[in-house]
Amino acid sequence: MQDKSEVILKLNKLKSVSGSHSPSIETLKQLIPEIEIEIDACFLSNPYATDFFMSCLEDELIKTGKLREILEFYPPQNRDVAEYVSSLIQLPTNQIFIGNGAIEIIQAVLHNFVSKKLLIVLPTFSSYYEFIKEDCEVVYYQLKKENDFILDVDDFLNFVKTNEPDSVVLINPNNPNGGFFDKKTVVKILDNCPEVGSFIIDESFIHFAIENNDLINESAQDLSKRYENLIVIKSMSKDFGIAGIRAGYAIMRSERVNYLLKNGYLWNVSGLSAYFFRKYSEPDFQRTYEILRRKYIAETRQFMLELEMIKPNIKVYPSKGNFVIIELLNGITSRFFTMNLLLNHNIYVRDCSDKVGLDGEFVRVASRSFDENRKIIDAIRIVQNL
Amino acid sequence: MQDKSEVILKLNKLKSVSGSHSPSIETLKQLIPEIEIEIDACFLSNPYATDFFMSCLEDELIKTGKLREILEFYPPQNRDVAEYVSSLIQLPTNQIFIGNGAIEIIQAVLHNFVSKKLLIVLPTFSSYYEFIKEDCEVVYYQLKKENDFILDVDDFLNFVKTNEPDSVVLINPNNPNGGFFDKKTVVKILDNCPEVGSFIIDESFIHFAIENNDLINESAQDLSKRYENLIVIKSMSKDFGIAGIRAGYAIMRSERVNYLLKNGYLWNVSGLSAYFFRKYSEPDFQRTYEILRRKYIAETRQFMLELEMIKPNIKVYPSKGNFVIIELLNGITSRFFTMNLLLNHNIYVRDCSDKVGLDGEFVRVASRSFDENRKIIDAIRIVQNL
């Protein structure tokens, strides 16, 4: 690359107009064609599942020419797609709402089922406070750095009791740090929060937290039978690396699903998203996916262990997501670290300097394929020593 | 087909759960596999434009393997996609809102920019009254059958004055009948409605109404510079037959676009929809599309003339859309007519018996390819005589 300072200027400008999210790879490449990204470690997904889904799509839609039907005609309506999910997770269709990505569900829930006071745990996924209604108050519960950003459940429950929010959001595992609590803890929390009208649990990363076969039972989804206030939000972009397709779903009580469908969301699921959910519900597809999911988890754990061994200039925080936050301890900034990885090693990681509730110099690094993870580790080993 | 009565029962059941829209082809085929649909004349699109877009997609995304990037990574944000549209229609990006299909825009506009009283012209696209907020009153202006459902502008303006709605919807050409008024009439209407807070003009079918080259100038879109209350909604599913991709946009004043984006719609445009809008903005693509658009209009006009000649059992109403409504005059019901076309001729048309404001026995028939139109005419000639 000829002139890095010019690229840095362009990147700074781009970031300033992209809001609180990283610019997409497509936007990046289009606006700064001279940039080379070999590894996108901003992007939180299981690349093996993407390979697998793309091979299904290749065989079933592209080779057969059926892709045209999927793109040409109106997609099935929300409820028809919910049938697919229902058959997989064994919950009634009328409790399932399909979203154009989880982000659409977050918006729908914040605008329809959150009243006056929302409790959010920091650090968090910024859309949860960015998309609230104008007249909604937000109270923040800060995860403690000295506690490695792990949720202290009793302290948290006290905070809820004191603040009396009508709605609460918990992300499990949390984004951006990956802190996780198990289903027993979820039950304890829900048992202690009957006054909360909407208890939102975002499980977008739970496929990476549970190593055994029993993913569906260890999710909070089936607790919706017991807790009327529970709303579970699930992105599929992370598990399958299909962020461009826009697929997510939520579990909530049936009156709430009805209310949303009465107000819109008629054809919010694209043809390809409907195709994805159909495949996802097929037992054969599930079997192969389970193998790839656990392979990726095993590699992710190993990746994190190796990152932890790079001492003493960086600290790796505990995570059950498919990513870690890394604190830079030797005085270099997260901006310098991120730019250096990008311009000298062609690796794109998330600079967390704009993350509210994450004070210090932090970056977030996603686990990618086995080979890519090797390169990420080698590059970080070099950059943290500069 | 062995037992038609059983298929009819299944169809009746399916229609009763599909609400006020036809069940999608995919849903139909999945639930009633024995049904054969050779021609989908429910579906309102230019099939030549679909051929063309699919050939671009084949060359640029499938043959090159780039489809994976489009599906895997996060799509560009709303504003980045608005740039493409801006370059085409010569209006500022900050006045353009991209939707996950026009239906998402209709929902957004009804929930955010319509206050207490909405005026809707009947017959209409049902989502305009189905998705209104609970506390919103709707007043209906009925198009007169004896006037061939053509808008009487002065009578309509009087109705607006008398009823004082804060918001008005006009579809131009109207769905389901195809009635059209030109830009001079739009200007006259807007000039006389300064008190209407949101004047919504849905131009989803305007590509079929204007035969000459100057489509962009004859659209109401650029009137948004003069009329702050104007909201123009545009589906792309009709022009390009890409309903499965979900692509639409709206023009409105920039404060309104800002307000929507502040409240969500971050990644509501899928990777393929973003790709579509990028292609759509390219001059080469536009040149070819213009040729196919006019070819399709010419064939559509011919199709309508031939339908009109099938007398005296049916009446074809005037339309500038890519569809016509047909009234059945010889005592057979629209249900009988539709079923007969489907089961004996494998042609799927829209039974309008559930269309509010369309009293009598009506069906809506879309213009398809030249060869398909021949078959539709032959079949209708037979069925209207039964």
- Phi and psi at B353, nearest 5°, equal -65, -20
Q: Find the CB nearest B71 among A106, A131, A244.
A: A244
Question: Which regions of chain B are under pLDDT 70?
Answer: 1-3, 16-19, 24-26, 213
pLDDT value at residue B13: 74
B248 touching chain A per CB within 8 A? no
pLDDT value at residue A143: 97
| CA distance linking residue B357 with residue B123, whole number of Å | 5
Pair of tokens at residue B300: 């559509």
Chain B neighbours among A 267-296 (CB < 8 Å)? 267-268, 270-274
The alpha-helical segments, DSSP class H, found in A242-368 are 254-262, 271-280, 283-308, 334-345
The answer to whether the CB atoms of A101 and B267 lie below 8 A apart is yes
Distance from CA of B146 to the nearest CA of A (A): 33
pLDDT value at residue A14: 72
The answer to whether the CB atoms of B24 and A77 lie below 8 A apart is yes
The answer to whether the CB atoms of A270 and B245 lie below 8 A apart is yes
A69 touching chain B per CB within 8 A? yes
pLDDT at A302 over 80: yes
pLDDT value at residue A202: 98
Could you write out the DSSP letters of every residue in B210-274? --SS-HHHHSSGGGGGT-TTEEEEEESHHHH--TTT--EEEE--HHHHHHHHHTS-SS-S-HHHH
> Measured between beta carbons, which residues in chain A are less than 8 angstroms from residue B262?
130
The answer to whether the CB atoms of A73 and B103 lie below 8 A apart is no
Prior bond of B165 cis (ω within 30°): no
| CA distance linking residue B255 with residue A162, whole number of Å | 38
pLDDT value at residue A2: 47
pLDDT value at residue A71: 96
pLDDT at A12 over 90: no
> Measured between beta carbons, which residues in chain B are less than 8 angstroms from residue A265?
107
Distance from CA of B149 to the nearest CA of A (A): 27
| CA distance linking residue B65 with residue B331, whole number of Å | 56
Query: How many angstroms separate the first and last alpha carbons of chain B?
Result: 20
Q: Is the dihedral of CA A85, A88, A89, A94 positive or negative?
A: positive
A247-253 average pLDDT score = 98
The answer to whether the CB atoms of B25 and A74 lie below 8 A apart is yes
> Measured between beta carbons, which residues in chain A are less than 8 angstroms from residue B248?
none
pLDDT value at residue B1: 45
* ipTM for the assembly: 0.92
Within 10 angstroms of residue A13's Cβ, the number of other Cβ atoms is: 12
What is the chain A residue with the closest CA to B28?
A76
Say if CB B235 and CB B102 are below 8 A apart.
yes
Mutate to test the interface with A, among B15, B20, B27, B60 (most CBs of A within 10 A): B27
Q: Is the dihedral of CA A11, A12, A17, A21 positive or negative?
A: positive
The answer to whether the CB atoms of A69 and B245 lie below 8 A apart is no
pLDDT value at residue B110: 97
pLDDT value at residue B21: 73
- A231-249 pLDDT, tens digit per residue, is 999 999 999 999 999 999 9
Q: How confident is the model at residue A18 (pLDDT cuts 50, 70, 90)?
A: low
